[in-house]
Structure 1
Amino acid sequence: MFLASFVAAAISGAAGFGGALLLLPILTRMVGVTLAIPVLTIAQLFGNLSRVWFGLDQIDWKPVRAFILGAVPMSILGAYSFVSAPKELIIRMVGLVIIAFVLLKHYNIIKFQPNNRIMVIGGGIVGLLSGLVGSAGPIGAALFLSLGLPPVAYIASEATTAVTMHVIKIVVYQKYLDLGVKGLALGLFTGVAMILGTWAGKRIIEHMPGDLFVKMVSVLLVLIGMQMLIWG
C-alpha cells in the first residue's frame, strides 16, 4: 500500500492528477467500496498539501479563488449524496467528458481562455463529482491546463483547490460514515507515502520543457479518461 501510494503521488505530483484513480482499486480491495473513498480522500489531502507547499510561491490565486467559489458548495452536496450515487455510471460519463475535452482542445475545435465565470462553473462541476465518486481531478486538471501556467504553478494551483474540497469531504464523510480508527490510520499512513511521492514528482517536472509537459499531461488525461469510460 505504501509503495502504491508513493507511485500514485509521484505521477499526480508530476501531472496534477491520477493518483486517486490509481489507488482506488487497491483501497477498494482492502477496505471495501464505501470506506475506500473516504480513506482515499484523507490520503489525497496530504498529497495535495505537499504539492501546495512545494509550489506555494507560484500559485495563481485569481483562478484558484474563482474555482473554489464554485467547488465548495457543490462538494458538500456531492459528499452528502455519496452513498446513494450511481458511481459506475458517473465515472464513465466523467471519462467521456475528459477525452472529448482534450481532443477538442488539441484540434483547436474549441478555443477559450478560462475566465472567472468558467472557473466558477468548472469548480462546481468538479466539486460535485469529487464528492460523489471520490475524485474528479482530471476535469480540474484539464481546466487549469488551459490557463497556460508553468508546470509547478499549474500543479500547485490545482492542488490548492483540491485541498479545499478534501477538507470539506472529510468532515461530511466522518459525520455520516464513521471512518473509525482503522480508516483514519490507513488514510494517514497512505498520506505519508504520498508526501514522499509528491516530492519525487516535483523533481521530475522541474527539468521538463513546458511544451513537453503539456503533451505529457494531455496523453495521461486521455488514458485516464479511457480507463474510466471502459472500466467504470
Structure 2
Amino acid sequence: MLAICALLIGSFVAAVISGSAGFGGALLLLPLLNQAVGVTLAVPLLTIAQLVGNLSRVAFGWREIRWRPVLLFLAPALPAAALGAWWFTALPKALTVRCLGAAILLFVILKLRGLNFRPSPQLLICGGAVVGLLSGLVGSAGLIGAAIFLSLDLPPVAYVASEATTAVAMHLVKWAVYQRVIVLDGAFWSLAAGMSVAMVAGTWVGKRLIETLSVARFRLLVAGLLAVTAVQMLWMG
C-alpha cells in the first residue's frame, strides 16, 4: 500500500514538473517505478501514463495539428518504437536499467547544452527513427522529439498537438508489443489508472505553477535531480 501511495504521489509530482519545467517528469518517475514494480513493469506503466497525458493534448489542439511533419516523423518512428519495445523485453534487466540511466544522463546533457536543430524533412525522418527506438527501449525520448518539433517554428498550440500526436502513436505501438510479451494483471491496470489520474491533476497544477516560479532555476534543479538519478542507475544497474 505504501508503494502504491508513493507511485501516485510520484506521478503527481512528475506531472507537475513536466507541466512547469517542460521536461524531466517522466524520466524522474522511471527510477521510482523501477524500485516499486521492477523494470519489467516500469516502462509499460510509464507508457500508459504518458499516453493519457498526450491524448489530452491531442484533443485540445486537434484542429491545429500539422500532419505533414507528423507523418514524416512517424514513418520511421513507429517501426523503430516496435523494435525498441521488443529489445526492452528481450534484454537482461540489469542492462536495461543501465540503458535507462544512460538515456536520462544523455537527455540532461543535451538539454543543458541547448538542444537545437535546423528544420528539414531529413531531420524529421532521422529524428523519428532515433526517438522511436529510444522511446521503445527506455520509455521516453520526449526531449529529443520536442526539440525536433520546436525547430519547425510552429505556433504553440500546433507544436504541442503535433508533437503529442507522434507520442500517442508511438505509445500505442509500444503498448501492442508490451502486452504480447509481458503478463499484465488486474493490479497493473488499477495502478495504471490511478497514476493516469494523478498525472492529469499534476499537469494542471504545473501549468498554474509556471506563472509564479522561475522556470530557468526550476529546470536547472530538475536537470540536477535527473543527473544524480542517472548516475545511480548506471552504477547500480
TM-score range (shorter-chain normalised) is 0.7 to 0.9
CA 12–224 in structure 1, closer or farther in 2 if over 3 Å, else same: same
Unaligned runs of 5+ in 1: none
Aligned counterpart, 2:128: 123
* Inter-partner Cα distance in structure 1 for 2:20 and 2:66: 18
Larger CA deviation: 28-37 vs 11-20 = 11-20
From 57, 68, 71, the counterpart of 1:62: 68
Distance 2:229 2:186 in 1: 31
- Match for residue 174 of structure 1? 179
Identity %: 50
Does the Cα contact within 8 Å between 1:13 and 1:51 map onto a contact in 2? no
User: Which residue number corresponds to residue 154 of structure 1?
Assistant: 159
Q: Which residue of 2 aligns with 1:230?
A: 231
Deviations 1:118-166, CA, capped at 9 Å, x for gaps:
1111111111111111112222123223333444443332222111111
Question: What TM-score, normalized by structure 2, do the two folds share?
Answer: 0.78
Question: In structure 1, the residue corresponding to 2:78 is in which secondary structure?
Answer: helix
What amino acid sits opposite 1:166 in the alignment? H
Q: Give the conservation status (yes or no) of the 8 Å contact 1:129–1:135.
A: yes
Deviation at 1:228, TM superposition (A): 5.9
CA RMSD in angstroms comes to 3.0
Structure 1 residues 219 and 64: CA distance shift in structure 2, 3 A: farther
Change (3 A) 1:217 1:56: farther
**2:50 paired residue number:** 44
Deviates more, 1:188-197 or 1:88-97: 88-97
Mapped contact 1:69–1:120 kept (Cα < 8 A): yes
Q: Secondary structure at the match of 1:83?
A: helix
Does the 8 Å contact 1:11/1:201 carry over to 2?
A: yes
Superposition deviation, residue 188 in structure 1: 1.6
TM-score by length of 1: 0.79
From the superposition, tell whether residues 65 and 223 of structure 1 become closer, same or farther in structure 2 (CA, over 3 Å): farther
Amino acid at match of 1:139: I
Correspondence 1:4-153 to 2 at 5 A: 4-85=10-91, 86-95=95-104, 97-102=106-111, 105=114, 112-153=117-158
Q: Give the letter aligned to residue 197 of structure 2.
A: V
